[in-house]
């Protein structure tokens, strides 16, 4: 799930996944962090989910995916669009 908080020229995106699916460490990787694993790891929230937030310039397009332990890649089913294997986010 994607949560958005728009500001003047930036948009805060919070990526949210279930607490236990998949198990182990998960990070979001994409155009905004040069596809660097571990740069934006998910952390547990009080409501039983995990999340990570990034603030990005508005009115741009970013490709991203989730990467879990064991080189397990997966996608955001609520992404704005898809391009090949990548989820697409519009800010």
Q: Is 34 left (phi over 0), alpha (psi -120 to 50) or beta?
A: left
Per-domain residue ranges of the chain: 2-90
pTM: 0.92
Residue spans of the chain under pLDDT 70: none
Cβ-contact 29, 74 below 8 angstroms = no
| CATH number belonging to domain 2-90 | 2.60.40.10
pLDDT tens track for 46-62: 999 999 999 999 999 99
Question: Count H helices, E strands: the chain?
Answer: 0, 9
**In the block, residue with structure tokens 């198990």:** 23
């Amino acid at each position: 799930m994607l949560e958005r908080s728009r500001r003047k020229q930036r948009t805060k995106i919070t990526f949210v996944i279930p607490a236990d699916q998949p198990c182990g460490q998960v990070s979001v990787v994409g155009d905004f962090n040069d596809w660097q694993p571990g740069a934006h790891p998910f952390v547990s929230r009080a409501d039983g989910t995990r999340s990570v937030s990034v603030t990005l310039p508005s009115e741009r397009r970013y490709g991203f995916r989730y990467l879990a332990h064991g080189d397990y890649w997966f996608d955001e089913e609520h992404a704005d669009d898809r391009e090949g294997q990548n989820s697409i986010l519009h800010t």
